[in-house]
Amino acid sequence: MDTTTRRRRVRRHLARARRYEAEGRYAEAEGALRAALRLARSAAGAASEEAAEAASALGILLAALGRADEAEETLRFALHLYARAYGPDDPRLTPSLNALGAVRQRRGDLTGAERLYARVVGIVTGTAA
């Protein structure tokens, strides 16, 4: 399968996952996101933009479902991919950073959450260090 076809299939999985999530079909959304991530990683290696997007969406879903350990691991992976693809201060990192901050906050790690939220603010305002 060529790269263009794989990217189209990844996009279809992502769109399907968004639809399932909007309908409250979370298990199916998770399956579609895992399929998108698997396909994106096989298409261009682990460091593709599509893999970053799929990992971020999966981590955010897992966080919303209360699966903090899985969410944190997946969100960290997404952040790594986004930073490699776009740089450490790119706005595309902010949804994953925000979700990771929420996971930390729910766990009672307020210092860790505050640090992540401050990074989001820094990226959005252009003052990230």
- The per-residue pLDDT for range 108-118, each reduced to its tens digit, is 999 999 999 99
Give the CATH number, domain containing residue 46.
Answer: 1.25.40.10
- What's this model's pTM, rounded to 2 decimal places? 0.90
Is residue 45 pLDDT above 60, yes or no?
Answer: no
**Per-chain mean pLDDT for the chain:** 92
Q: Structural domain tally of the chain?
A: 1
Burial (0-12, 13-18, 19+ Cβ within 10 Å), 67: middle
CB contact at 8 A, 69 and 50: no
Q: Which tens digit of pLDDT belongs to each residue from 69-81?
A: 999 999 999 999 9
Range of the domain at 107: 3-125
